[in-house]
Amino acid sequence: MSQITRIGVMTSGGDSPGMNAAIRAVVRTSIFCGLDVFGIYRGYEGLIDDQIEQLSSSSVSNIIQRGGTILKTARSKRFMEYTGRLQAYNNLKAHNIDAMVVIGGNGTFTGASLFDMEFDFPIIGLPGTIDNDLYGTDATIGYDTAINTVVEAADKIRDTASSHDRLFFIEVMGRDAGFIALRSGIACGAEFILVPETTTYIDNLARLLKHDWRRSKTSGIVIVAEGDESGGAYEVAAKVKEKVPELDTRVTILGHIQRGGSPSAFDRVLASTLGFISVRGLIQGQRGVMAGIVNKEIVYTPFDNAIKHHKDINKEMLEMSRILAL
């Protein structure tokens, strides 16, 4: 592989808190290593439209604490077509960019893997998604902040639930994975946690809730991942209400509030570390991989493995959550 002299950096797909910290680390590490670094705005869409400009150290000043992404982000249907990817490649070569760091999730890495294969272009990915559903890292950038956001909201909802003797169903993000629901549910003392990885039996849920209320409880919280197979929070709440009409139920959907906000200290350090090692990895010849941290060790996982290998939820923690909520 020829020597790398210019690196491009982009954020793609859904945003997550800590992306700016990762961008900052990529930019300043590149400059320290004597490389030129270019920001690609609006992900693959911006790459196709040549929205590329050189960044300096001052370009990333005062952003480590900011949520969102200064490079913007987008989902690109055009990049799914070869003509779009070819235009993206031509734009990179026009700027003499030799390699890229892409920050995103499954869709981002799928596109990066295909692009590398077609054009022999070195790319390293950073796991930027609140869902924590990528294989090859213990935590993704933004996951910790999202959990803290959910817990803060659930604690406030618990106050009003207790005041009115109500049962709240709180829907959190997690279309395919229940990591946010599980961790936040344990942290806020939820009575039940519903995730896509396990089957939800409404009859059993209703029976246990009814038992809780008869025993001593007058309020409660059920955390529902949006991808739970029994439906979202509104559907689950309606089914429970039908079976236990005496319960005073309410529904709150937290939605995109989980993606925003200032990143936690954990996410700032994680993003900074991954941004730093991504540049170092490219210089050392790594490509077609996602940079991650597993058991406090730096690992590089091939894109295909990061995308396709399933990351299991800890079902013992689900059992623990129910025991602790008794």
Catalytic residue positions, numbered: 131
Q: Are 281 and 273 in contact (CB under 8 A)?
A: no
**E strand or H helix at 92, and its extent?**
helix 82-94
- Comparing C-alpha atoms, which of 129, 131, 88, 87 is closest to residue 108? 129
DSSP class of 263: P
Distances (CA, A) of 306 to 102, 163, 301: 14, 45, 6
Backbone angles phi, psi at 294, to 5 degrees: -125, 125
- Separation CA 210–CA 180 (nearest Å): 26
Structure tokens at 90: 């031509």
- Separation CA 152–CA 233 (nearest Å): 19
Distances (CA, A) of 247 to 62, 165, 235, 243, 251: 49, 9, 15, 9, 13
